[in-house]
Amino acid sequence: MGCRRLLSVLALVFLAACSKTNQNEIVIGEFSSLTGNTASFGIASHNGFAMATEERNANGGVLGKQIKLVTEDDQGKSEEARSSVLKLIRYHKAKALLGEFASSRSIAAAPEAQKFHVPMVSHGSTNPKVTEFGDYIFRTCFIDPFQGKAMAKFAYNTLGIRRAAILRDVKNDYSVGLAKYFQETFQALDGTIVADESYSEGDVEFRSQLTAMKALKPQAVFIPGYYTEVGLIARQARELGIDVPLLGGDGWDSPKTAEIGGKAIDGSYFSNHYAQDDPDPKVQNFIKKYKAKYGSVPDSQAVLAYDAANLLFDAIQRAGSTDGDKIRAALAATNGFPGITGSITIDPNRNAQKSLVIVQYSNGKPIFKDRVGS
Amino acid sequence: MEIFLQQLVNGISWGSVYALIAIGYTMVYGVLKLINFAHGDVYMIGAMTGYYVALTLGVTESHPLWHLGVVILGAMVVCALLGVAIEKIAYKPLRKAPRITALITAIGVSFFLEYAGQLIFGADPKFFPQLIESRPLFHIGDVAITTIPAIIVVVSLILMGILRHIVMHTNVGRAMRAVAFSPDAAQMVGVPVDRIISITFIIGSALAGAAGVLVGLNTPKIDPLMGIMAGLKAFVAAVIGGIGNVPGALIGGFFIGISESMVSGYLSSTYRDAFSFLLLIIILLVRPEGLLGKRSVEKV
């Protein structure tokens, strides 16, 4: 008994010693998948957050204090995302949270942020459920109903497709949601979904599903997944002689899609947050800065992360305090924030109202096709 | 019918990979009565070695066929060395220990390879260069047989043919069968048991290395944990065929590959892994010695 008491006293002393915060710093917690299946997005997100933080600190920080960005790697796993966020809140005493792009991970983390009243800003989680956990959860990207609808309309009206197939990742909330909204809109437009097949994140073999699909002769295949699987699916689809365009969402936006998919991905379309060849000087200027710092062209997650971090810093400045409730109120009042990905207004459901772009792969490069307003 | 044939082709190419890995399980079990759980990770090392050898050869638009040969050979050599190192370092000191000790050590070696792999290669997946251009070779009805599945099946069959020749028609093979039959008796008649066990590890690991490269061709995503599931499936294949029995491992491998392809094609891909393990449970209940296994008599 005595021993146990001594231990708990020691533990308390240890915790108190560790959690001492610097008065001249504002701690912002970030959780990203720096390793794992979606590491490319996680690292890009981290780069975006870090770049925004550095720039802000160089310009005097927020409320006269420097921002300290503390990063936790969630390894691309939902259960790790939850514990990362708990660690950020309870151990690092983060005043606000940034992350995740993956809806599954944001959904795992959001209840904790809500419980501890720490505002959380997701930069890339497009599943509607994410912000439904409570009034402390925000996002700075568009949501899947908008994305799914836009792709269905684009397929039906612009490409003239009447028979589409779907291949969704059943382990992923983002993919399942996006598939559902695409299907609803496409059917409402009088199109037919001829096949609805599924796979699980991490799979490498899709030929069986594609073979079953091919027999039903779709004119396009909607694959609302992430780049790793999409690249492999594209290759295997072409191998089996499926030559129709593939359609997808913002989960495709990584240089890896073309690296893995090679020629197989050419001619396919996906909806995205921004296009690299957008002539807007704001966009080109950002790309130049990012390239100089990290040596690669930023993907959407990097741009979204940069916007989300800047929007959060702006809100803390407007709140005039690092109190959770005040930051929350300032975030909710965001109106027409000028981001790289477009003007961002937070609606009453704490989602961002903004436009999307449709991009086509050509010779391994995404080319701007169309812009769809909110 | 066309769908069925295409699923069959898909299944056969995976089946031959499972068979190559399963042979390693079954051979080691034959001579040592040890389930070498690190075997799936040796296959991962094979894929990784293939990746680095291919990068050294240079990334070009189209690789000549000999590049594939070099990559496969490189992976086989590295895996053979790794296999014999594992045997000497981890299993040999435990030769006289209870079997459960060796089994737990095998799991330890497996974890070591997985996490050392994450440390050395990085945890994020790598993408195998396209060594073989995928194009249709010939058609059966409406079903296109493309280059990659064809190469996988041909390379696997060649390797299995060589293995059969070694086991059935050479002195080493005869010694292996003797050790599998009775290590003590083999020792008494002058068979160098330790050397034969090392050779068994060399052959089994080399085959796993080749399987790693073939998978890299077929599904180019490779990562340090890829060996876990593939290793388990191959283990199931070995058990289904009758563990310790080489032709059994072959049949088990094709059985698993084809049934997985059919399940994900006709039911849902979500049931694919569950189905393989369901097969294992059924076979253990109905015919625990496996399809080709004999009760109490074990061969290499």
Q: What is the pLDDT of residues B226-250, one digit of tens each?
A: 999 999 999 999 999 998 888 999 9
CA angle A290/A293/A295 to nearest 5° reads 80
Q: Is residue A360 part of a domain?
A: no
Q: Is residue B167 part of a domain?
A: yes
Neighbours of A370 (CB within 10 A): 15
d(CA A239, CA A234) in angstroms, rounded, equals 9
- pLDDT the model gives residue B159: 94
Please answer whether residues B31 and B203 qualify as being in contact, where contact means their C-beta atoms are separated by less than 8 angstroms: no
ipTM score above 0.85: no
Q: Is residue A365 part of a domain?
A: no
Q: Please, which residues have CB within 8 angstroms of residue B115's CB and are 6 or more apart in sequence?
A: B224
- pLDDT the model gives residue A254: 83
- pLDDT the model gives residue B134: 76
Find, in chain B, the residue whose alpha carbon is nearest to that of A240. B144
Q: Is residue A369 part of a domain?
A: no
Q: Is residue B121 part of a domain?
A: yes
Coil, strand or helix at A257:
helix
List pLDDT tens digits, range B100-128.
Answer: 999 999 999 999 999 999 899 987 788 88
Of B68-82, B141-155, B258-272, which one has max mean pLDDT?
Answer: B68-82
Residues A13 and A133 in one domain: yes
* pLDDT in single tens digits along all 374 residues of chain A: 455 565 555 555 555 545 555 778 999 999 999 988 788 889 999 999 999 999 999 999 999 999 999 999 998 899 999 999 999 999 999 999 998 999 999 999 999 999 999 999 999 998 889 999 999 999 999 888 899 999 999 999 999 999 999 999 998 888 999 999 999 999 999 999 999 999 988 888 898 899 889 989 999 999 999 888 999 999 999 988 899 999 999 889 888 888 888 889 999 999 999 888 888 888 999 999 999 999 988 988 999 999 999 999 999 999 999 999 999 999 999 998 999 988 899 999 999 988 889 999 998 888 988 888 76
More confident residue, A200 or B48: B48
- pLDDT the model gives residue B295: 63
Across the interface, of B2, B123, B144, the residue whose CB is closest to A35 is: B123
Neighbours of A50 (CB within 10 A): 18
Cα Rg, chain A, nearest whole Å: 21
Q: Is residue B122 part of a domain?
A: yes
Residues A91 and A11 in one domain: yes
Residues 231-270 of A with CB under 8 A from B: 231-232, 235, 238-241, 256, 259-260, 262
Model confidence at B136: pLDDT above 90 = no
Q: How confident is the model at residue B37 (pLDDT cuts 50, 70, 90)?
A: very high
* Record: contact A260-B220, CB cut-off 8 A: yes
Model confidence at B42: pLDDT above 70 = yes
Q: Is residue B240 part of a domain?
A: no
Across the interface, of A197, A228, A262, the residue whose CB is closest to B125 is: A228
Q: Is residue B231 part of a domain?
A: no
Residues A237 and A334 in one domain: no
Q: Is residue B45 part of a domain?
A: yes
- pLDDT the model gives residue A1: 44
CB contact A365 to B (< 8 Å)? no
Residues A203 and A262 in one domain: yes
Per the prediction, chain B carries an average pLDDT of 89
- pLDDT the model gives residue A374: 61
Residues A257 and A292 in one domain: no
Coil, strand or helix at A94:
coil
Model confidence at B176: pLDDT above 50 = yes
Q: List the domain range (segments joined by +) for residue B83.
A: 17-225
Q: Is residue B35 part of a domain?
A: yes
Q: Is residue A174 part of a domain?
A: yes
**CATH number for the domain that contains residue A268:** 3.40.50.2300
Coil, strand or helix at A223:
coil
Partners of residue A221 on adjacent β-strands: A165, A246
Three-state secondary structure readout of chain B: CHHHHHHHHHHHHHHHHHHHHHHHHHHHHHHHCCCCCCHHHHHHHHHHHHHHHHHHHCCCCCCCHHHHHHHHHHHHHHHHHHHHHHHHHHHHHHCCCCHHHHHHHHHHHHHHHHHHHHHHHCCCCEECCCCCCCCEEEEECCEEEEHHHHHHHHHHHHHHHHHHHHHHHCHHHHHHHHHHHCHHHHHHCCCCHHHHHHHHHHHHHHHHHHHHHHHHHHCCEECCCHHHHHHHHHHHHHHHHCCCCHHHHHHHHHHHHHHHHHHHHHHCHHHHHHHHHHHHHHHHHHCCCCCCCECCECCC
Q: How confident is the model at residue B88 (pLDDT cuts 50, 70, 90)?
A: very high
First CA to last CA distance, chain A: 63
Number of domains in chain A: 2
Q: Is residue B287 part of a domain?
A: no
Residues A123 and A15 in one domain: yes
Cα torsion B96, B100, B101, B106: sign: positive
What is the average pLDDT across B194-214?
A: 95
Q: List the domain range (segments joined by +) for residue A218.
A: 144-272
- pLDDT the model gives residue A9: 56
Q: Please, which residues have CB within 8 angstroms of residue B171's CB and are 6 or more apart in sequence?
A: none
Q: Which residues of B make CB contacts under 8 Å with A?
A: 2-3, 6-7, 10, 14, 122-125, 127, 130, 134, 136, 144, 146, 148, 215, 218-221, 260-262, 264-266, 268-270
